[in-house]
Amino acid sequence: MNQEGIRLNKFLASCGIGSRRACDALIQKGGVTLNGDACTNPATRVGAEDVVRLEGKRVLPRQNTTVLFKKPRGYVCSKQDELGRATIYDLLPPKLRHLNHVGRLDRDSEGLLVLSNDGDLANRLTHPRNKVEKEYRVTLSKSPQNHDLQKLLQGVRTPEGHARAKSFRRLSPRRLSLVLETGLKRQIREMFATLGYQVDKLFRIRIGRLTDPDLPVGRWRHLEHHEIELLSLDPAE
């Protein structure tokens, strides 16, 4: 084992296994071996000559691939759905089906979604401390009251915990632009449900500084390096 190598969790992330946090959990469960010995410490260093196996299968770093996908309504963000529903991976070519979705959109939501095997990128985009902005177009079943919209900025209690919006902008009586810095499960739908509103349509249009209005729904494209950097940049900077 090379003490000058990289941490085991970072190594696994570079192999496309998942984010560093996800790799921490795999390591601590005891499914990882280093040079034939069980290893449960994510901070263990891995060098170029070391052999790492996950559940008995050797894992090696792979070239990072990151794509932008515009999710259509009616598909779940999962590689396999236990209910047999259509998944976003049904719309991707086989060469991209090893990629992990970075965050998620629920079945009835649409818009921009990043897929990547870069664990560091996934961690950067999803960890709450980084406060990566995501902007949505929201259509409600009825026009919201101004005092209710102000409550979104203060924060409301949802089944997943305290949730708040960073900002909002009215586009029409029932349509809003809403910006979040967190990603709780069904956060926008649950926030509005708490206030007595139903979300009829939800479309993510921006992640960090990156937008792509010309990408058709249901299609994907590779991201260039400078675009990947835009994903985690604050639009105000």
Catalytically annotated residues = 106
Non-local (6+) Cβ contacts of 237 within 8 A are none
Yes or no: say if 76 and 89 are a contact pair by the CB < 8 Å rule: no
Yes or no: say if 8 and 43 are a contact pair by the CB < 8 Å rule: yes
**Quick one: residue 234, left, alpha or beta (phi over 0 = left, psi -120 to 50 = alpha)?**
beta
Non-local (6+) Cβ contacts of 168 within 8 A are 149, 152, 153, 176, 177, 178, 179
Q: Which helix (H) or strand (E) holds 20?
A: helix 20-28
